Structure 1
Amino acid sequence: MDALRGYGELGLGSRLKRVSEYMMKETQLVYNHFNVDFDPYLFPIFNIIANKKGVTNSEIQNSLQFTQPAITQAINKLNDKGLIIYTLDKSDKRKKIISLSDKGYRTLDILKPIWKTIDKVIKEYTLESSSSLIEHLNILENKLNAKSFSSTIINNIKMDTTTANFEIISFDKQYAKDFYELNVEWLKAFFYVEAYDEEVLSKPDHYIINKGGHIFFAKLNDQIVGTVALMPIGKEGVFELTKMGVSPKHRGHKIGQKLMQHCINFAKVNSMPKLIIYSNKKLENAIYIYRKYGFIEIPVEENCPYIRCDIKMELVF
C-alpha cells in the first residue's frame, strides 16, 4: 500500500516532492542515454541565461524566485561544466553579466529537441481531467508506474528522428494483409473481432474500395505501421471513418492522429458532407481525440452494425 496516498491532501507536499524527484531522475537517464553532460536541476537557470542572452545573478533570482544559495550553486555547476562565461557590465563594473559560452550554445542546440519531446510527453501524461489535484496526482503516478517516463521520452525522440521517412499512402493490394492484421490486433486487444469486422477486413476491396471508399496506410521506413479507412455509408455521400489501427510498438507517437487529420483533409478536399465514427465510451483517450478534432456525439441508431458501439459521433463540413 502507498502510505503517501493514504494521507490525502495532508501528504500533498511529499507527493509533489516524490514526483519531482522521480522525473528528475528519469530525465537524467534521458540525458545519459544521449551522452549529454547536463543536470536536469540546472534547466531553469540555464534556460533563463539562454533566453536573456546576458543576465545578472539578481535578474535570475527575480525571474525564478529561487533562493540565492540555490542560484549560486547552479551557476557554479554551469561554470564548472564550461557552459557559461562572465563579462563585466559596461555601465556598472561591479555587475557580472552571465552568458552562454560556445560550449553552452552547442549544448543548448542538443538539448532543445530533447526538451521539446519532454514537454510533449508530460502533456500526454497529464492530459486526463480530474476534480482535484490529489486525483490528478493519482492518475499521473499510475501512468508513471505503468510506463517508464525516460523510455517513453527516448522512444519519442527516436521516432522524431525518423519522421523524414514517414508518409501516408493510399490503398494497394499488397498491403491488404497489413490492413487486416493491424485491425484484428487492435480489436483483440480492446474487444473482439465481430463477424462484420471479419467480413470487411477480409475483403477491403469489395466492401470499401469498389464502393468508392478509401483506405490509407501510415508508412515508416518502408514498414506499414498504421491504417485507416473511409467507408461509404448510405446514399448521401457520407463516409464512416473506421478501421483505424496502429502497430503496438508505434503507438504513443500520434500516428493515429496523423491518419485522422489526413482523412479530414481528404474529406474536405473531396467535398464530403460529413464523417461518422462508431466507437465505445471505454476508449476515453480516443473519444477525447475525436472531440479535439471537432466530432460531436449524436444518437446511435437501433440497427448499428457494431455490437460494441455505444457512442456515435459526426464531423460536419
Structure 2
Amino acid sequence: MEQFGVLTLGSRLKRLSDHLFMQVQEIYSQCEIPISATFFPILRLLQKTGSLSVMEIADSLNLSHPAVSKQTTKMIKEGLLEKTVDEQDQRRSSLRLSNSGLSAMQRVEPVLQEMKIILERMLDFSSENFMEGLTCLESQILSGSSLADKVLDRLESIEIVPMESQHEQAFYDLNMAWLERYFPEQITEKDRVQLSNPQERIISEGGMVWVAIRKTKSVDSVVGTIAFAPTEGFGADNKRAEVFKLSVAEHAQGKGIAQRLLSAAIDFSAQQGFSVLSLETSSILKSARCLYDKNGFIEKAFPNPSLYERADVYMEKTLTLTKSRDMS
C-alpha cells in the first residue's frame, strides 16, 4: 500500500491498529489477564477517576456515546464494571470498576510497563515527514519479532542453557544484528564464519556457547548469547580462556540478562580450572565496559595484536578456582 502514498493512509493506520490490538490480546491471553484489549482506555480512565457516566466517559476519551455504551455493556456482562443508579435521579447512573475489574487492572500493570518500554523503543526514530515516519513505524511493528514475543521475553522467566542446534540461527542473527548496529563497516569474514558455524568453530575446539532463552510451546525464544574458548600458549598451571560474542536482543536489554550470561561463563571457567579470563571490547561500548568493570575485569595492554579493528580495549579477570558443578 505504501506505493499509493496518502491515498491509503486510512487503510495503513487501520492495519496498524488491528495488528496492535491482536498483539496486545495475545499478550493478555498468555498472561491470563481476563480483559479485552479494546476495553483498556475505559478501564484505565475509571481506574483513575473512580466513577463516571457513559456520557462523561465518551467526552473524556473523544468517543461516540453509542460506542462507549456498547463497550461498557459488554464490560458489565463480563463482570469488570458495576453500574450505580443515582438515588436522587433514577435516570442518571455511573459506572465504576468492580472488584474483578480492579484485580484485572492490578494484574495488567506489569504487562503495561513492559509494553510501554517496547513501544517507546519502536517509536525512537526521527522523521520530518509524516508518511516516512509511518513507513518506519510499520517496519518496526509489522515485521520481525512480534510485539507479543518482545513483551513476553521481558515478562517471563529466562534460562541460561548450553546452546543446542535449534539455537544456532539465533546465535548468528543476534550477533550479526549487534555488529550491524555498532560496527557495520568492520564485519570480517572471521565473524561470518564463526557465527555461521559455532559448533565447528567454537564448541568442537574446546569452547562453549550459552544462550538465554524463554521457553515456549514451539521454538525457544533466544534473547542473548555468550561464547567461551580456551586460549593457546599457556601451561597447565596457568590456564587461560576468553569470552566473546556477548549479545542481548535490544528489546530484552535492561533485565540483567547480560550479567547472567557473563556470570555463567565466569563460573564455568573457574570450575574448569582456568586462572585467567580475558576479553576484548571497544571503548565506544559504555554499557559493556561498565558490566566488565563491575565483574572484576581489569584493562591491560594487548598481549598480541587484536584480530578485530573494532577492538581497542583488552581486559582480564583473575579467577578463584571452584569445585565443578552442573552448569545446565
Q: TM-score, normalised by structure 2?
A: 0.54
Secondary structure of 2:156's aligned partner = helix
Equivalent pair of 2:247/2:258 in contact (CA under 8 Å): no
Of 169, 174, 188, the residue aligned with 1:192 is 188
CA 131–50 in structure 1, closer or farther in 2 if over 3 Å, else same: same
Show the counterpart of 1:88: 85
Q: CA deviation at 1:35?
A: 2.3
Determine the C-alpha separation between the residues in 2 that align with 1:50 and 1:259. 36
Is the aligned partner of 1:151 residue 2:149? yes
Show the counterpart of 1:44: 41
Q: CA deviation at 1:16?
A: 0.7
Show the counterpart of 2:112: 115
- For residues 31-70 of structure 1, the aligned pairs below 5 Å read 31-70=28-67
Equivalent pair of 1:55/1:99 in contact (CA under 8 Å): yes
Equivalent pair of 2:150/2:252 in contact (CA under 8 Å): no
When the two chains are superposed, the root-mean-square deviation of aligned CA atoms in Å is: 4.3
CA 65–77 in structure 1, closer or farther in 2 if over 3 Å, else same: same
Equivalent pair of 2:83/2:96 in contact (CA under 8 Å): yes
Q: CA deviation at 1:37?
A: 2.5
Q: Which runs of 5+ in 1 are unaligned?
A: 167-181, 196-218, 228-242, 261-275, 280-285, 291-304, 310-317
CA 6–220 in structure 1, closer or farther in 2 if over 3 Å, else same: closer
Q: CA deviation at 1:49?
A: 1.4
Determine the C-alpha separation between the residues in 2 that align with 1:157 and 1:251. 15
Q: CA deviation at 1:26?
A: 1.3
- For residues 1-317 of structure 1, the aligned pairs below 5 Å read 4-90=1-87, 92-143=89-140, 144-158=142-156, 186=175, 190=179, 191-192=187-188, 245-247=246-248, 251-255=250-254, 278=283
Q: CA deviation at 1:188?
A: 9.4
CA 188–55 in structure 1, closer or farther in 2 if over 3 Å, else same: closer
Q: CA deviation at 1:73?
A: 0.7
For these two proteins, the number of residue pairs brought into alignment is: 217
Amino acid at match of 1:96: S
Equivalent pair of 1:49/1:100 in contact (CA under 8 Å): yes
Determine the C-alpha separation between the residues in 1 that align with 2:252 and 2:67. 37
Q: CA deviation at 1:121?
A: 1.3
Secondary structure of 2:94's aligned partner = strand
Secondary structure of 1:153's aligned partner = helix
Determine the C-alpha separation between the residues in 1 that align with 2:84 and 2:146. 42
Q: CA deviation at 1:147?
A: 1.6
Determine the C-alpha separation between the residues in 2 that align with 1:118 and 1:189. 23
Equivalent pair of 1:246/1:256 in contact (CA under 8 Å): no
When structure 1 is superposed on structure 2, of 76-85 and 134-143 the one drifting more is: 134-143
Secondary structure of 1:94's aligned partner = coil
Q: CA deviation at 1:5?
A: 0.4
CA 88–107 in structure 1, closer or farther in 2 if over 3 Å, else same: same
Determine the C-alpha separation between the residues in 2 that align with 1:20 and 1:245. 36
Equivalent pair of 1:31/1:37 in contact (CA under 8 Å): yes
Q: CA deviation at 1:193?
A: 8.0
CA 135–257 in structure 1, closer or farther in 2 if over 3 Å, else same: farther
CA 188–32 in structure 1, closer or farther in 2 if over 3 Å, else same: closer
Amino acid at match of 1:254: Q
Q: TM-score, normalised by structure 1?
A: 0.55
Amino acid at match of 1:253: A
Secondary structure of 1:252's aligned partner = helix
Question: Deviation digits for residues 115-158 of structure 1, max 9, x if unmatched?
Answer: 22221111111112122221122112222212212211221211
Q: Which runs of 5+ in 2 are unaligned?
A: 161-170, 180-186, 192-211, 215-223, 227-243, 260-280, 289-305, 311-328
Amino acid at match of 1:246: S
Determine the C-alpha separation between the residues in 1 that align with 2:65 and 2:34. 24
Determine the C-alpha separation between the residues in 1 that align with 2:256 and 2:100. 38
CA 141–86 in structure 1, closer or farther in 2 if over 3 Å, else same: same
Equivalent pair of 2:154/2:255 in contact (CA under 8 Å): no
Q: CA deviation at 1:308?
A: 5.0
Question: Deviation digits for residues 8-53 of structure 1, max 9, x if unmatched?
Answer: 1222121111100111111111112222222111111121111111
Equivalent pair of 1:117/1:156 in contact (CA under 8 Å): yes
Q: CA deviation at 1:246?
A: 2.3
Amino acid at match of 1:113: P
Q: CA deviation at 1:277?
A: 6.0
Secondary structure of 2:252's aligned partner = coil
CA 128–308 in structure 1, closer or farther in 2 if over 3 Å, else same: farther
Secondary structure of 1:86's aligned partner = strand
Determine the C-alpha separation between the residues in 2 that align with 1:35 and 1:259. 29
CA 48–255 in structure 1, closer or farther in 2 if over 3 Å, else same: closer
Amino acid at match of 2:135: N
